[in-house]
Structure 1
Amino acid sequence: MNQRVEAVDAIRGFALFGILLVNMTLIQFGFFTSEKPTYLFGDLDKGANWFIQFFGTHNFISLFSFLFGLSIILLQKSIIAKGKKFFPTYIRRIIILLLLGYIHGTFVWEGDILFAYGIIGIFLMMFINRKPKTLLIWAIILLALITLMSYQTDPSTNIDDFAPYTEKEHKVHQTGSYMDHVNFRLTENPFDYMGIDGAFGLFFISVFAIIFMCPLFLFGMYVGKKGWLFEVNKHIHAVKKIWFATGLFSFTIKILAMFVKHPLLIMLQDGLTPVTMTFFYGSTIILLFHYKKATRLLTYMANIGKMSVSNYLAQSIIATTIFYAYGFGLYGKIGYFFGILLTIGIYTIQLFVSTYWLQKYRMGPVEYVWRLGTYLEKPRFKRDLDKAS
């Protein structure tokens, strides 16, 4: 077992659990209901929502973004080692990612992140050949900018701006056919109701997304350039220090922000803790690899991570089918607590399905298509099981 690769895949697999945890809430209640949550089961749901907000919201998408940045550098090293040109291959990879994101966002769920990753992937081309120090400096600059942007004298959000969109959203999810959902995604834009529309709106949203998400990508690229994950055992004491420091900072800020609604604490919580929680979660998985009792679970999680795009898309298909009217129609009916249980159930199934799949195949089905389009050559898909016997 290559522990370095397994650790990265396990972190990616863990990130997919957190992404499903958060997305489950968005799919079953809508995008702009977090400010005015509905607790179907009273304190049980209230506690469950607190758990999701405290441990999940913004943290796992940040972790996934960090891993995407890391994967860019690992891909570059792999392609160069084969004596091939990197950028033509990278551009094809990004184009396919954009196509996957558009298909997912239009025909499955409007909360897609793949298209945004593709846009940011284009922007990151100017950083790929930069020195590690340059990547770190830009990551810190953008992180500081995001943190300052998070400072609000009035921390409340005017959720009423999105009321017309939310009303249409609820209606289509509760009563609409599949094609009604597709049409809704093609014609409705929540930012239109804030006056952010047209070409300017698209440009504004794109720039904001790049600024907001780029620090984690750049941190991931920085770690990839430094090569620390290739020799984790040499840096295990540093990993322990990172785990302790980021955990202490994150939980201290988050707990204080719960009780003291000060703008400075809100700024640190919204701007910095997604980054520190990324390093806390990542270092936790790395440290767990040194405990034999956790090896089996981490191996299963790594299998999910190896099929991350396939599993991410599968999560959306399963959840939307469960909640939307064209499926089982449970939109807004199971609440936060049972949403967590459903998340655990779906993820557990994915643990076993991914492990079984990878016993027969070398990669996930979507990864196969992605790799085929990236390298323009047919990759080996099935495992040679007969040779092992």
Structure 2
Amino acid sequence: MKQRVEAIDAVRGFALFGILLVNMTLIQFGMFSGEQPTYVFENIDAGANWLIQFFGTHNFISLFSFLFGISIILLQKSIIAKEKRFFPTYIRRIIILLIIGYIHGAFIWDGDILFGYGIIGILLMMFINRKPKTLIIWASIILVLTMLMSYPFEPSTNMSDDFAPYIAKEQQVHETGSYIEHVSFRLNEDPFKYIGITGFFGTFFISLFALIFMTPLFLLGMYVGKKGWLFEIDKHVSPLKKLWLMSGIFSFAVKILELLTKQPLLIMLKDSVTPISMALFYGSSIILLFHYKKASRLLEYMANIGKMSVSNYLAQSIIATTIFYAYGLGLYGKIGYFFGIVLTIVIYVIQLYASTCWLKRYRIGPVEYVWRLGTYLKRPAFKRKLNKVS
């Protein structure tokens, strides 16, 4: 499918802002360190942390997962339209994604999501040719199972205590280690051994277990892709408005009540269901803005980021780790939440401009070029003949 769905690209670009917002905290404090003390402006910093937790954590990765599900169906429709075999192409695409994810996780930052998406992408092969109704049924079943599995652990788990030895080693590496020492730490240090899970298969299955919690989003995205709702937005404005309203009311009601009461049931709903509802709220918000041509200039720039999302995602990790880790500027643990948000906005604005400039000269991002080359086994069109963003 040559024609880009601009609204989906804009949603993807918005998701990348939220992912950077959350990852900024993880990169500057560590993956397992929990909440950190406030910094220069105590009240402002505490408020900034609250904003990240309330609006960001789990929500944008859920939105990105939803979009990944849609992209699978887009790819299928595109390949079938060309009268080619889908699964060989899809498998090559997943293999390249796994390679990119492994390189990112090993040599740039251990918070990579692309390798996990590749694993889930393999599992989703059994659902690609299923009917939309089947996808909804399985998404619902898996969601209920993950809710039941997560419920007993929510009130008592203290990740920072469990991973204290790993956190100490991680902090030392990030504050004083060279780039080679960082890579060695990521490749050789296993955080799960500190909670009694050792060996490759143990780590693999606990990682797979974590990925299963996102599976309903992938399936829901595939469902929407099959229904074609986002390709004919004019025909589905009313349902989109209802989805926006219902998902927003549910999300904010659960989050606020959980914040006030700390009831186990609400904690479970907040951690397992509201990431889905918030993803739907964010996604429908951007699509409706796009439809009504509100903030159209900003959405156009956001769509440009979305068109080269993998390149921008990797660039975010490279920039942030260079800022915080010892082999770069060495600001690990030093700037706090508020200035983390400021830095997020600065980096994202730069990416808005850089992506727009890049797409005036090239059709796709540099990593997307490699990905398509490996997927289709032929060189994709890269440079533009006309100085115009499509």
**TM-score interval w.r.t. the shorter chain?**
over 0.9
Q: 2:304, 2:355 within 8 Å by CA — same for their partners in 1?
A: yes
Q: Which residue of 2 aligns with 1:309?
A: 310
> Shift of the alpha carbon at 1:238?
0.6
C-alpha distance in structure 1 between counterparts of 2:184 and 2:278, whole Å: 37
Specify the alignment match of 1:334 in structure 2: 335
Helix, strand or coil: the match of 1:374? Answer: helix
CA distance in structure 2 between the partners assigned to 1:290 and 1:153 by the alignment: 42
Match of 1:201 in 2: 202
Cα contact 1:150–1:267 (8 A) shared by 2: yes
| Alpha-carbon displacement from aligned partner over 1:267-305 (angstroms, at most 9, x marks no partner) | 110110000001100000011113434110000000000
Secondary structure of the equivalent of 2:110? coil
Contact 1:21-1:343 at 8 Å conserved across structures: yes
- 1:30-80 Cα shifts (integer Å, max 9, x gaps): 11222x422113111110000000000000000000000100000000001
Shift of 1:3: 9.8
Match of 1:224 in 2: 225
Q: Give the corresponding residue for 1:8.
A: 8
Counterpart check, 1:236 vs 2:240:
no
Residue-by-residue CA offset, 1:246-279 (whole Å, 9 max, x unaligned)? 0000000001111101101101101100000011
Q: How far apart in 1 are the matches of 2:138 and 2:291? A: 33
Q: How far apart in 2 are the matches of 1:266 and 1:143? A: 15
CA 1:92–1:172 in structure 2 vs 1: closer, same or farther (change >3 Å)? same
Q: Give the 3-state SS of the residue equivalent to 1:150 in structure 2.
A: helix
For residue 266 of structure 2, what is the amino acid of its counterpart? Answer: L
Distance 1:227 1:258, change over 3 A: same
Match for residue 136 of structure 1? 136
Aligned to 2:364, the other structure's residue is in SS state coil
Deviation at 1:146, TM superposition (A): 1.4
Q: Deviations over 1:110-157 (max 9, x none)?
A: 000000000000010111111111111000111111122231376132
Give the SS at the match of 2:163: helix
Q: Which residue of 2 aligns with 1:177?
A: 178
Residue aligning to 1:37: 36
TM-score, normalisation: structure 1: 0.97
Is the 1:4–1:230 Cα contact (8 Å) retained in structure 2? no
Determine if contact 1:116/1:209 at 8 Å carries over to the other structure. no
Partners of 2:230 and 2:26 in 1: CA distance: 33
Distance change in 2, residues 1:104/1:234 (3 Å): same
**What are the Cα deviations for residues 207-237 of structure 1, in whole angstroms up to 9, with x where unaligned?**
3034211110000000001111111111101
CA contact (8 A) 1:27 1:320 kept: yes
Cα gap change, 1:4 to 1:91, in 2 (>3 Å)? closer
Amino acid across the alignment from 2:39: L
Task: Name the CA shift for 1:246/1:205 in 2 (closer, same or farther; >3 Å).
Answer: same
Equivalent in the alignment of 2:114: 114
Amino acid of the structure 2 residue aligned with 1:264: L
Tell me which residue corresponds to 2:148.
Answer: 148
User: Paired residue for 1:345?
Assistant: 346
Q: 150-159 or 170-179: which moved more? A: 150-159
Once residues 156 and 387 of structure 1 are traced to their aligned partners in structure 2, the CA distance between those partners, rounded to angstroms, is: 55
In the alignment, the residues of structure 1 paired with residue 44 and residue 31 of structure 2 have an alpha-carbon distance, to the nearest angstrom, of 21
Q: Does 1:165 align with 2:175?
A: no
Question: Aligned partner of 1:114: which letter?
Answer: L
The residue that corresponds to 1:324 in the other structure is 325
**Are the equivalent residues in 1 in contact too, given 2:305–2:312 (CA < 8 A)?**
yes
- Looking at structure 2, the residues matched to 387 and 113 of structure 1 have their Cα atoms a distance apart, in angstroms, of 32
Aligned partner of 1:124 in structure 2 is 124
* CA apart distance, 1:386: 7.5
- Aligned partner of 1:89 in structure 2 is 89
Q: TM-score, normalised by structure 2?
A: 0.96
Q: Which residue of 2 aligns with 1:25?
A: 25
Distance 1:329 1:288, change over 3 A: same
Q: For 2:352, give the aligned amino acid.
A: L
- AA aligned opposite 1:195: G
Question: For 2:275 and 2:39, how far apart are their aligned partners in 1?
Answer: 28
Aligned partner of 2:373 in structure 1 is 372
Question: Structure 1 residues 373, 200: CA separation in 2 closer, same or farther (over 3 Å shift)?
Answer: closer
Which stretches in structure 1 are left out of the alignment for 5+ residues? none
Letter in 2 for 1:67: L
Residue 328 of structure 1 aligns to a residue whose secondary structure is coil
